[in-house]
Amino acid sequence: MRRGRIIIFLILIVMVGLVVVFVAFRALLPALAPSQQAPTEVLIYKAAQNIPQGGKITADVITTLKIPGDQVTAEEYTEAERGDLLNNKVAKFPLDQGVVITSSMVTDASQAVTIAGPQWAALIPPGMTAISIPTTRLSLDAYAINDGAHVNVNSCFLFVDVDPSFQSITPNFTAALSGTGFPQNALPVLALGVNSGGASSAQGRLELDPSLQQPFYVVASEAQRPRVVCQTVLQDVVVMKLGNFPLTPTDTQAAQQQAQQQGAAPAPDIITLIVSPQDAITLTYMVYTNAQITMTLRNPSDQSRQATEAATLQFLLSQYNIPVPAKLPYAMQPRLDALTAPSLPNDTVTVSP
């Protein structure tokens, strides 16, 4: 009996010793293992701006990006390889801003494939085209819209009623028919008389006086008033260039930069948009039909499309609860026939000689 207790006691001592050794080994294992240092960080190069196809890689179009050294690939340019990257290298294809530059993206300028046409043509995505339209300070959001901006294009139109056959603005002119005939050995003739005023009169309509129950002929007192409608026609359009493109790649750009520094650069009056071929046709039609085009600036990360309702006089009255003024026995003085926009301090006043 005593011997059994001794054996149990020895077993417990051995088990406790094993536990102590295991705990101590677990505690000393990290210290015994070889230390693992964090990988050093390396600077690699990326595009600081959009670089067109064939564009030269210079110090002002690249910037650095810090990544762990164990993540650097052989194709990327490190800080130690900066000289090689800037050694007469050009982009093989358009590089977007922020793209990490690799050796497959650039090539020596002497081996670059010549691009047909101007270098900025490479900025146009496949299937798209560039079109220029006239613009003003008002239609450019006070010049907040510039190269690379994303905009919506709005347009306003004037509509009038026309005669389907004549394609002339109604009402038509009328004259009295005084006689027709088929003279011998001659073509048929049609003689038109005129009214008592000596000229044709505008076509009116016959109405019935509700009080006297007598018919009378109503003629318009003025020419037909056009009806205005405005609508968003294009959304999320990218601006390729505000103002004129340089005629030469070097001299004109230097002259423009010098003029801007001296404050003598003229305000831009033209803008180039990147659109689909169908939208280019639409813009061409609007330009040559004297439609009024304006652009609104939008966030470049916003790619949503909003369904808009065309603005007409009826839409304004119903949508914004605008009442039609009542006819009152009094009025404002002096007489007001048109709304005059206030003059702004920065507006240019043209004085005729």
pLDDT for the residue 115 = 59
pLDDT for the residue 340 = 82
CA distances from 239 to 66, 92, 188 (A): 32, 23, 62
Which architecture does CATH list for 41-119? Alpha-Beta Complex (3.90)
Angle at 174 between CA 171 and CA 176, to 5 degrees: 165
Which sequence spans correspond to the domains of the chain? 41-119, 129-158+226-319, 170-181+200-224
H or E element: which one contains 92?
none
The number of beta carbons lying within 10 Å of the beta carbon of residue 139 is 19
Q: E strands of 302-346, at which residues?
A: none
pLDDT for the residue 124 = 85
φ, ψ at 179 (rounded to 5°): 175, 150
Residues whose CB falls within 8 Å of the CB of residue 272, separated by 6 or more in sequence, listed in order: 130, 131, 132, 239, 240, 241, 242, 245
**Residues 180-222: pLDDT tens digits?**
556 666 665 555 555 555 567 788 888 888 888 888 888 888 8
- Sign of the CA dihedral running 50, 56, 59, 64: positive
Dist. CA 151–CA 146, nearest whole Å: 10
pLDDT for the residue 156 = 96
pLDDT for the residue 192 = 53
pLDDT for the residue 293 = 96
pLDDT for the residue 30 = 63
Residues whose CB falls within 8 Å of the CB of residue 186, separated by 6 or more in sequence, listed in order: none
Taking CB atoms within 8 Å and a gap of at least 24, the contacts of 115-121 are 115/53, 115/54, 118/245, 119/52, 119/53, 119/54, 119/55, 119/249, 120/52, 120/240, 120/241, 120/245
pLDDT along the chain (353 residues), means of 10: 68 74 69 60 87 83 85 84 84 84 84 66 86 95 93 96 93 72 60 54 85 86 92 96 78 56 75 96 96 95 92 95 93 87 73 54
Residues whose CB falls within 8 Å of the CB of residue 259, separated by 6 or more in sequence, listed in order: 265
Pairing label, strands 176-181, 189-193: antiparallel
Instruction: With beta carbons less than 8 A apart as the criterion, state whether 102 and 89 touch.
Output: no
Tokens of residue 161, six digits? 């009623």
Q: Which of 254, 227, 89, 84 is nearest to 158 (CA)?
A: 227
Q: Which of 296, 308, 323 is nearest to 239 (CA)?
A: 296
H or E element: which one contains 156?
strand 150-159
